A and B are shown apart, each in its own frame.
Chain A
Amino acid sequence: MKITTKHLFWILLGCLFLSVAIGVFVHLYLRPSVHFIWEALPIFNAMYGFIGCIVIIIGSKALGHYWLQKEEDYYEKHE
């Protein structure tokens, strides 16, 4: 069977669901030791990963667009 994008999408969705479900299970039954209060939240890492990714993309893009990104011959032009 040929794996299509649709299959990959469902596999990914399954993985996401599984990671959250196992996270909840681990926190409820195995009670791993936590160092910070937020680690007690079973889906903290999922949220941090998602929000962190969006913040990094938008933050760095904004930084680049308004300040750091210049045309490729920037240094040659200023010679």
Chain B
Amino acid sequence: MIEWFHPGLIYIVGALLIPVLRGRLKKTYLLLLPTMAFINLLLMSNGVFSSEGKAWFFPFFGYDLILGRIDKLSMVFAYVFVISSFCMALYAIHIREDGQHVAAYLYVGSTLGVVFAGDLFTLFFFWEVMAWSSLFLIWYRRTKGAYAAGFRYILVHFFGGICLLGGILIHLQMTGSIVFETLRWGWGSNWEDIASYLILLAFLINAAVPPLHAWLSDSYPEASVTGAVFLTAFTTKSAIYVLIRGFPGLELLIWAGAIMTVYGVIFAAIENDIRRILAYHIISQVGYMVCGVGLGKLGTAAGEMGINGAIAHAFCHILYKALLFMGAGAVLEVTGRSKLTELGGLYKCMPITFHLYMVGAYSIAGFPLFNGFVSKTMVVHASAIWHLPVIWLMLEGASIGTFLSVGLKLPWGTWFSNEKPVCEAKEPPKNMLIAMSITAFLCFLLGVCPKVLYNLLPYPVHYEPYTSGHVVAVCQLLLFTFVGFWLLRRTLHVKPTITLDTDWFYRMAGKRVIWFCEKPLMTFSRFIDMKVMRLAGFLVWFSRNPTEALNIKKKEFELKLKKLVANPEGVKEYRQSLEEERRRYPGELPKLTLGASLLLILLFFSLYLILYLLI
């Protein structure tokens, strides 16, 4: 009986075959890989594999690498990654560039590697594969902006990777273990705390927690149409997974998450690019998850609610955010435009896309009957159980902003706001529409049957989202948001601008550093270079005949004195004799007697002795 088979390996090994295949066979194969991975997960859930808990141990320099840590937490993330990857692959199936498919599947496979990693080395390995494989999804857009954003993206992620590696190595040195479990947390300054800080920093970078978030809103909107759909799901949600593993119940995360939810909303409200609006809403929605992890103090009912909420929201978020990016991507695909100032009136040309997009919009806003409602409210409810009024108000307030930007401003500006379409448009290719329909159906299914999702969660769920009070409260909140939007829709009108974010620091700093290197540093270096070369030249000249050289230097000094006091004739004569001596230099070298040589050697050694004694 097989011990276990890694679902991530299906994608990683499977990706290598993609360039060999052609036509329909390739399309079928692209859909077959996620299907196989899904069947693999079903087999795992039903206990078909012999292993329980941990599988696939490999010895590595005296440590055990654990490639398969199988429990409810890893399984629920694996399920959503595999299901969403099927929809995303279907959305991208018409793409002819094999590289995009290979990069996407390496990305999915390595994310599954992170999810099933039971030790920190395996985690680090897949973490890095995830970073560079996702980079190609950005670069495949093949625009100048995409290349630049890709470089910034990978630099930030390499920085995160270095932090993670540093943290892991210090942790290993201090504890002697590489097993990935809840990490010790304290606000101290000993090495174990520093290890936790570094690992947390790496996780927070991937979770896009402000001020470390700008890589996301900078790069995702620059990615290829289909690549961006993949990007929305894996990096940030795998970061949530590792946060749950490593830092559950960390209070800092409650505030970080709540700030994220509001931060994303504010930036999205003024943004012009539709995919950037959605990217800011990834930050906002991941905020709910980060907050849920912070609320998830282990061993308490409220804590379990927080963790369950974070996972459920990650599950739902992956689906509706993929759907939203698919909708925005479809608009970009058929019109070549993604700015609200260049869009409008497209409803007549692409009504199906609009309706499918709106399913995602209702889901993210948390309307009853859609999946956002059953997951987001769990985190909000957890904050209520912990009795954190400010956090509760921030999370509820972010819901308003979410509906405002994603549910009203974006669709209004793209599909309406103009009587006639501002450009030529039609519905996107069929595979895109089918992928969107499946994803929309899943959003709806989880909204009406939350039990399907709740059964997958690691802790038992004692929460009923569909209470009358709750449904009415959400309806009131969102309907009156609409009233506010309608009254101020002209104020919300966007302009063709960009919004500065924390990437400003490294984008401008980068330019300043290059300027500093090219201008002042280069001038200084040339100056030093010249001086050193002159000194070296002088020393070479001097060493040829030091006695004569000293004589010449003495005469040069005398000449300067004579210039001040003697008559010009005398000076001229003196200069001529000096020129003659220079020409003859080095001339005949003086012969030293044996005694003089010995004296010089003794002198040298004495100097050396004094120097030695002094130092």
Contacts and interface: CB of A to CB of B under 8 A. Distances in A.
A23 B472 contact: yes
Nearest to B504: A75
A71 to B, nearest CB: 6
Interface in A42-60: 43-54, 56-60
B94 interface: no
Contacts of A49: 400, 476-481, 483-484
Interface string A57-77: 111110110011111101100
Contacts of A52: 396-397, 400-401, 481, 484
Given A46-B479, A57-B492, A22 B497 contact: no
Contacts of A35: 384-385, 387, 392
A32 B472 CA distance: 11
B270 A63 contact: yes
B499 interface: yes
Contacts of A36: 384, 387, 389, 392
B509 to A, nearest CB: 12
B265 interface: yes
B295 interface: no
Contacts of A60: 265-267, 269-270
Which interface residue of B389, B404, B479, B500 has the most chain A CB atoms within 10 A?
A: B479
Contact of A57 (B384, B478, B491): B491
Interface string B371-397: 000000000000011010100100011
B469 interface: yes
A7 B404 CA distance: 22
Chain B interface bracket (under 10, 10 to 19, 20 to 34, 35 or more): 35 or more
Given A19-B479, A26-B468, A56-B400, A45 B474 contact: yes
Contact of B472 (A26, A75, A78): A26
A53 to B, nearest CB: 3
A60 to B, nearest CB: 4
Nearest to A34: B469
Contacts of A51: 484
B480 A57 contact: no
B473 interface: yes
Interface residues of A, number: 44
A30 B468 contact: yes
A35 B511 CA distance: 51
Interface string B145-172: 0000000000000000000000000000
B458 to A, nearest CB: 24
A68 B472 contact: no
B585 interface: no
Given A19-B472, A26-B472, A54-B488, A48 B495 contact: no
A30 B468 CA distance: 8
Given A30-B468, A69-B270, A74-B498, A53 B392 contact: no
B191 to A, nearest CB: 40
Most buried by B among A43, A44, A61: A61
A59 B400 CA distance: 14
Q: Give the most central of A26, A67, A69, A74: most B CB within 10 Å.
A: A69
A56 to B, nearest CB: 5
A51 to B, nearest CB: 8
Contact of B481 (A44, A50, A69, A78): A50
A30 B208 CA distance: 41
Contacts of B269: 56-57, 60-61
Nearest to A55: B397
B499 A64 contact: yes
Interface in B455-478: 467-470, 472-478
A49 B473 CA distance: 10
22 contacts: A15-B475, A15-B479, A19-B476, A22-B468, A23-B476, A30-B469, A32-B470, A36-B392, A45-B476, A48-B477, A48-B480, A49-B477, A51-B484, A52-B481, A53-B483, A56-B266, A56-B400, A56-B401, A57-B485, A58-B488, A60-B270, A63-B266
Given A45-B477, A56-B404, A69-B495, 15 more contacts: A46-B476, A49-B477, A50-B484, A52-B396, A53-B400, A54-B488, A56-B269, A57-B269, A57-B404, A57-B488, A67-B500, A69-B500, A70-B499, A74-B500, A79-B511
